[in-house]
Amino acid sequence: MSIDLFDINSLLSEEEQIVRNNVSRFVDENVKPIIQDCFESHSFPKQLIQPIAELGLLGSSIEGYGCAGMNSISYGLICQELERGDSGVRSFVSVQSSLVMYPIFTFGSEEQKEEWLPKLAKAEAIGCFGLTESQGGSDPANMKTHAKKDGDDWVINGSKMWITNGSIADLALIWANTEDGIRGFLVETSTSGFTANEIDNKFSLRGIGYI
């Protein structure tokens, strides 16, 4: 557990302290002993995914759909403790939770919520957030990816870069320009035409899969 210089602990509820302590223990026992090897071998510790899900850390602030329904403070404490272990592990959890599960929960259809949120919460599916591109970074105004309606389907053309979880994802939330403005699309990575090439030899966040 981090040193509490500002006595933040006194401001936390009992439940929030329990969440923080459980994640802290998990980091000390499971992340810190292996993360140096993961950094050196440029590999993501996939063996941590299921234990992370079993702790209820994926989509932890979402109500229902198999999610833990914790408050925002608990989610912040979860991310703080995971970051203490490794930024890549925290990135995995926050992308799955905030950038994939939360948009589905907030903007998705009921059918999409029921199909994907329980799977993502249990780590039966891994998600990624496809916004950033090589020429424009994370600026939607410079985004080149576009989508056009084709009957009842959409055809998406473009490429993304620096997409956390991209190399291990089962579901991608892809952002694209359309005639009606920017829209998000849920794309299963098994879809024909979808490819993910992992970026190697990064200087930082080496223990997380990027495409």
Examine residue 128 and state whether it is found in any structural domain, yes or no: no
CA–CA dist 208, 211 (Å, integer): 10
If you average pLDDT over residues 70-91, what whole number do you get? 96
Examine residue 74 and state whether it is found in any structural domain, yes or no: yes
List 122's β-bridge partners, or say none. none
Alpha helical stretches, state H, 6-109: 14-26, 32-41, 49-54, 72-85, 87-94, 102-107
- Give the domain range for residue 47: 14-113
Examine residue 154 and state whether it is found in any structural domain, yes or no: no
Examine residue 88 and state whether it is found in any structural domain, yes or no: yes
Examine residue 141 and state whether it is found in any structural domain, yes or no: no
- Strand locations in the chain, DSSP E? 127-130, 146-150, 153-157, 171-178, 181-188
Examine residue 119 and state whether it is found in any structural domain, yes or no: no
- pLDDT, one tens digit per residue, over 168-199 is 999 999 999 999 999 999 999 999 999 998 88
Examine residue 186 and state whether it is found in any structural domain, yes or no: no
CA dist 123 to 139, 154, 181, Å?
Answer: 29, 27, 32
Query: Looking at residue 109, which CATH number applies to its domain?
Result: 1.10.540.10
Examine residue 54 and state whether it is found in any structural domain, yes or no: yes
Residue 1 above 60 pLDDT?
no
176: left (phi over 0), alpha (psi -120 to 50) or beta: beta
pTM: 0.92
Give the number of domains in the chain.
1
